[in-house]
Structure 1
Amino acid sequence: MTPNIAIVHVNYPHGPNFRLWLPLFLLWIPALLLAPFVLVVLLVACVCLGIPFWQSVRSFWAIVCSLPGTDVRVTTEGNRVLVRIL
């Protein structure tokens, strides 16, 4: 399953807190339009570096499909940022 929504929650101890919902499924529209160009560039890079083309496509797709469920939490000096990918 591909990622559909990302939630960014920023928490300041002395300021405003906000939560931002980002619809990642809207990024698939330009990604589909740019896919032929990206595949050609990837093919040229794989030929130059000697990497199997379909193995690199399969690896990239596995990374994209494993993104849902990712939680990134960063805390510094009381400021907290949480990024969740659903």
Structure 2
Amino acid sequence: MIPQLLTVRVKHPDGRPIRIWLPVLPLVLLFLPLVLLAALAAVVACAIYRVNVLRAAVTGWRVACALPGTRIDVEQGRTAVLVAIR
């Protein structure tokens, strides 16, 4: 199952957190021209390095499907950022 929701939480030094919920599908549709350009660049890179394009696409799809449940925590000083993919 591909990711459905990104949750971003930022804790400021003053103590109040900011939470942002981002649905993945509208973001993908918004950035679709960039996604298509990145896919074209990936196909060219596969041709240059002699990698099977279909196998690379399947591997990319598997990585995308494995993302739900991933949590990324970053702390710098008194500021913290948490990204959760659901």
- Fold match, TM over 0.5? yes
Range with bigger deviation, 39-48 or 1-10: 39-48
Query: TM-score normalized by structure 1?
Result: 0.79
Segments of structure 1 that go 5 or more residues without pairing to the other structure are none
User: RMSD of the alignment, in Å?
Assistant: 2.3
Cα distance, 1:38 vs. partner? 5.2
Query: TM-score normalized by structure 2?
Result: 0.79
Alignment correspondent of 1:82: 82
Cα distance, 1:39 vs. partner? 4.8
Range with bigger deviation, 60-69 or 15-24: 15-24
Alignment correspondent of 1:45: 45
Percent identity between matched residues is: 31
Runs of 4+ with deviation above 6 angstroms: 31-36
What secondary structure does 2:61 align onto?
Answer: helix
Kindly name which structure, 1 or 2, has the bigger radius of gyration based on alpha carbons: 1
